[in-house]
């Protein structure tokens, strides 16, 4: 897709009149438009688009929608529905009231382009630049810092669920990337065990039986890793992220010697801050503070706190 930069033409008169009549006290979107004006210009994202091709949806508008989407915790489909339905969003985007918006898939493609061309920080940098230009963000001044925890968008599995789901995720990834190669390895027993999502309520009852199940998962995982890292296997299989997660997880969770495969226990396990706790978010860790446990991250937040300036929070 190609970029045809669009200059901001202001807010259509009808949109402005209707929105201000409906929301005399304003909304977040209206206040952003009134205080900061058009935040993102298309030229700032030109590096993510080709010179020729079908014209793309305005990346400046997509960046604005992405900011509002994050602020309100919306899915892509919900966000694009808001573009069509919300009058205050239309005033921020400078759209006519009858503007039909765009398809939900466009937001995902836009994020992929930003990541591919290393433009992830562009929206933040443009906001900070606009705040500095308006004198709302200045060097120095008072600020305060505190720490908090951030929940990861993953469930918190127990150890049996974790190893089972980690192996299942690797098999799912290989089934998509190399189905012919995997078909020679997977048995009907594997398909039955790792086909559905691994959940504790499906596990056998009894401590001894559960231990046997966990060790069987460990043996199956080592079989898969040996096949992936065999000299005859395609090299690129080892680069699949889910396979790499499996390898690291098995080093952390299992011990193998001449007596067989056993789960690591107690001090034989790596420290919690090094141990993976989800195959789908390798940055998440299990943490505990003052008796409260969570799966996610620890963050330090700094807030500017000058009385005559906006309070800006950053991590």
Segments forming the whole domain that contains residue 201: 159-283
If asked whether residues 132 and 20 sit together in one domain, one would say yes
Determine the Cα angle at 296 with ends 157 and 111, to 5°: 110
If asked whether residues 103 and 132 sit together in one domain, one would say yes
From the list 10, 152, 66, 28, the residue with the least C-alpha distance to 83 is 66
pLDDT for 144 beyond 50: yes
In a domain, 288, yes or no: no
In a domain, 3, yes or no: no
In a domain, 8, yes or no: no
If asked whether residues 70 and 110 sit together in one domain, one would say yes
**Paired tokens of 226:** 């040996």
* Domains identified in the chain, total number: 3
If asked whether residues 188 and 124 sit together in one domain, one would say no
If asked whether residues 42 and 125 sit together in one domain, one would say yes
In a domain, 303, yes or no: yes
If asked whether residues 203 and 304 sit together in one domain, one would say no
**What is the CB-side half-sphere exposure of residue 108 using CA atoms within 13 A?**
7
If asked whether residues 31 and 132 sit together in one domain, one would say yes
Q: Are 209 and 160 in contact (CB under 8 A)?
A: no
Please report the pLDDT score of residue 4 as a whole number: 55
Predicted confidence (pLDDT) per residue in 52-74, tens digit: 656 667 888 888 999 899 989 99
Of 135-139, 213-217, 255-259, give the lowest mean pLDDT range. 135-139
In a domain, 55, yes or no: yes
Between CA 139 and CA 219 the distance in angstroms is 58
If asked whether residues 119 and 167 sit together in one domain, one would say no
List residues bridging with 44 in a β-sheet. none
If asked whether residues 181 and 148 sit together in one domain, one would say no
Q: Are 251 and 261 in contact (CB under 8 A)?
A: no
In a domain, 74, yes or no: yes
Please report the pLDDT score of residue 2 as a whole number: 47
CA dihedral (165, 166, 167, 169) in degrees, to 10, reads 80
Of 3-12, 29-38, 216-225, 236-245, give the lowest mean pLDDT range. 3-12
**Paired tokens of 227:** 């096949």
* 180 φ, ψ (degrees, to nearest 5): -65, -40
List residues bridging with 145 in a β-sheet. 302
Boundary-marking domain end, from 71, 102, 137: 137
Q: Which of 74-83, 118-127, 259-268 has the highest mean pLDDT?
A: 74-83
If asked whether residues 307 and 254 sit together in one domain, one would say no
Predicted confidence (pLDDT) per residue in 145-202, tens digit: 988 888 888 888 888 889 999 999 999 999 999 999 999 898 888 888 888 888 876 7
If asked whether residues 275 and 308 sit together in one domain, one would say no
In a domain, 1, yes or no: no
In a domain, 59, yes or no: yes
pLDDT for 261 beyond 80: yes
If asked whether residues 250 and 179 sit together in one domain, one would say yes
Q: Are 246 and 224 in contact (CB under 8 A)?
A: yes
Boundary-marking domain end, from 103, 137, 171: 137
Between CA 211 and CA 223 the distance in angstroms is 19
Please report the pLDDT score of residue 242 as a whole number: 95
């Amino acid at each position: 897709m190609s970029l045809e930069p669009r200059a901001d033409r202001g807010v259509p008169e009808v949109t402005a009149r209707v929105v201000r009549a409906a929301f005399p006290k304003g909304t977040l979107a209206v206040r952003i438009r009134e205080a900061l004006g058009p935040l993102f210009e298309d030229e700032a994202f030109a590096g993510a688009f080709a010179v020729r091709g079908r014209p793309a949806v305005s990346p400046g508008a997509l960046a604005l929608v992405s900011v509002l989407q994050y602020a309100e915790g919306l899915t892509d489909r919900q966000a694009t529905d808001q573009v069509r339905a919300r009058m205050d969003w239309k005033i921020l985007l400078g759209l006519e009231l009858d503007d039909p918006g765009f398809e939900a898939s466009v937001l995902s493609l836009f994020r992929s382009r930003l990541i591919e061309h290393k433009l992830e920080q562009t929206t933040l940098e443009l906001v900070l630049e606009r705040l500095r230009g308006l004198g709302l963000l200045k060097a120095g001044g008072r600020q305060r810092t505190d720490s908090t925890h951030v929940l990861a968008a993953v469930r918190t599995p127990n150890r049996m669920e974790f190893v089972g789901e980690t192996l299942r995720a690797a098999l799912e990834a290989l089934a998509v990337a190399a189905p012919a190669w995997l078909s020679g390895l997977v048995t009907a027993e594997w398909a039955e065990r790792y086909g559905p999502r691994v959940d504790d309520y499906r596990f056998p009852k009894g401590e001894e039986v559960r231990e046997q199940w966990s060790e069987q998962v460990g043996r199956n995982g080592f079989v898969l890793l040996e096949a992936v890292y065999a000299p005859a296997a395609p090299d690129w299989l080892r680069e699949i992220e889910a396979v790499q997660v499996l390898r690291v997880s098995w080093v952390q969770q299992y011990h193998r010697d001449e007596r067989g495969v056993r789960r690591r226990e107690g001090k034989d396990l790596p420290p919690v801050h090094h141990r993976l706790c989800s195959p789908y978010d390798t940055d998440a860790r299990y943490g505990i503070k003052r008796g409260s446990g969570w799966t996610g991250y620890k963050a330090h937040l700094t807030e500017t706190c000058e009385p005559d300036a906006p309070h800006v929070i950053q991590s």
